[in-house]
Structure 1
Amino acid sequence: MKMYLLVPMLLSLSCGGPKEKQELNQLEKDIQDLMQGVEGEFGLAFRLLDDSDKELFINEKEVFHAASTMKTPVMIELFKQSATGKFSLQDSIPIRNEFKSIMDGSTYSMDLGVDSQEALYSRIAKKGSIYELMYQMIVKSSNLATNILIEKVGAENVTQTMRDLGAQDIQVLRGVEDLKAFEAGLSNTTTAFDMMLVMEAIAKGKVHGSDNMIEILSDQHFNGLIPKYLPKTIKIAHKTGAITGVQHDAAIVDFSNGESYVLVILSKNLKNEELGKETIAKISQLIYTHVVKP
């Protein structure tokens, strides 16, 4: 039996003239048709980065577990603090696997078996540069690197920087695998709208190190969601995130002619994660086709 979304789909469309509105309405219908074939919930935010004000929102203010998408805000904070002279991104930092829970200060360690960057664990008790750990945090989504860097910059500072960018609902509270905090309901969260604002700030050079961040995000190792069905000739700077029942991707899609757009697709409560991933890839393809149509 086909299972439909458990929450209402709240859509906002904005565009120039009647024809563009009609085309966006059709795009929205096609996207909803895909989403409604999946048991789970989705949030979407799309904005063309030009003067057309073309954008499309579906459940854009719905709150989702941020999963690894929160690593992009951490990267922004690293570049910000480096720019203010607190440290250099080339500074060395100890690689360790002992962290403090935000619940009670008790220590916990990362589980090698659930991290996506195993190589870093062989270097525990040695040192690496902040830049290297940041790169591994984004490109290979290293949880170990993430926790080291969050303790370096402070989760509360990351959240405040997001507020300064206009992202009012993102919460970066802690590092990864803090089980005591998780069991207490204290998790990093985001909305599709806020993540769109974050990626837009990078795309438009509104944050320190934007060009460098785009290059790092463009080296993303996990490309099975937004980039899957897009041409290999275009540049896609993006960050994925996944936990049980959750698949996210937040991207800047840049064409060689200078045209670009931001697309964020979040999901949760997915009963079939492979179907959810394929749906995200097909939604991305629909939006790309809409943007590049003759």
Structure 2
Amino acid sequence: MRQKALDELARRAEARGGVLGVVVQGASGERASVNADRTFTAASLIKLPVLLALLDGVEAGRWSLDDRLPVRDRVGGAGILRDLADVADLSVRDLVSLMIVISDNTAANLLIDRIGQHTVADWCARHGLHATVLARRMMDAEARERGEENRTSPADMATLLDGLVRGTLLGPAATAFALDVLARQQVRDRLPRDLPDNVRIAHKTGELDGIRHDVGVIFTNTPIVVAALTENTEEADDLIAETARRAVQSQPLFRSL
């Protein structure tokens, strides 16, 4: 994707008092970016390093996708577990699906409690995600009032997704599992919105008041990593969708960046 196109999209966000941060990266490492290292409130993007840190522990034998966890401390926001009072326990595998596919906050908290916040922090540090911080559980209003906020950057999300799709972060089985669950993401109003129906995308969204994100891998002739994060722009969905569309349309031009 041409740098000029990203700069144009960023100016559109700025003209309305907002911010757009994007990294678009091709299979050979060619990259265009704007505000790549800017730190954003992560919203549900923080569930991505939770997913990968968990799968890293599965591979190491510290826990299993077959482990069953009691469903407790249901919280609001995204998800369905808060409404399923008769569900007593679920496998880690199913909790992962709920956390990613419908961004269930209760499922995310159960998995965070299972592996520990320190495990996510250690995993991020080992893989160079220095802007990514899991500071609190989902929907912890008291922690947010204390200034404890989950954060990340477009560059960190692109690094994570690039490592995932290349198979350098996890083994083949765990990599396939992670990409499969991300491909089942049900929120499709941002990166996938303007793409052809036959284009596969594995991605994760995030949103809070004033926050709209989407990051993922678009599978065309070769994988394209797109990490698009926004703050305070009414055009967020349009800007993110246009970023993905332009990235796919300009794929043969990556080498000339």
Give the TM-score normalised by the residue count of structure 2: 0.91
Matches within 5 A, 1:158-237: 158-208=120-170, 209-237=174-202
Structure with the bigger RCO (C-alpha within 8 Å, sep 6+) is 2
* Alignment match, 1:40: 18
Q: Partner residue of 2:80?
A: 118
* Deviation, structure 1 residue 32: 3.5
2:229 matches 1:269: no
Partner of 2:105: 143
Contact 2:6 2:243 in 1 (8 A): no
Residue type at the aligned position of 1:194: D
Cα pair 1:139 1:221 within 8 Å, conserved = yes
In structure 1, runs of 5+ residues without a counterpart are 1-22, 98-108
SS at match of 1:212: helix
Q: 1:101 corresponds to which residue?
A: none
1:54 shift after superposition? 1.6
* 5+ long unaligned stretches in structure 2: none
Distance 1:90 1:32, change over 3 A: same
In structure 2, distance between residues paired with 1:166 and 1:124:
41
CA distance in 2, matches of 1:32, 1:267: 10
Show CA shifts across 1:16-44 (max 9, x none).
Answer: xxxxxxx7243234434543453311111
Asked if 2 retains the 8 angstrom alpha-carbon contact of 1:34 and 1:283, the reply is no
Shift of 1:124: 5.7
Farther-moved stretch of structure 1 (60-69 vs 165-174): 165-174
Q: What percent of counterpart residues are identical?
A: 24
Letter in 1 for 2:33: F
2:185 match: secondary structure? coil
Deviation for aligned residue 1:118? 2.0
- Secondary structure (helix, strand or coil) at the match of 2:194 reads coil
- Where do 1:67-82 residues align within 5 Å? 67-82=43-58
User: How many pairs are equivalent?
Assistant: 251
Determine the C-alpha separation between the residues in 2 that align with 1:289 and 1:36: 24
Asked if 2 retains the 8 angstrom alpha-carbon contact of 1:63 and 1:191, the reply is yes
Partner Cα distance (2:9, 2:133) in 1:
28
Q: Is the 8 A contact 2:20 2:35 kept in 1?
A: yes
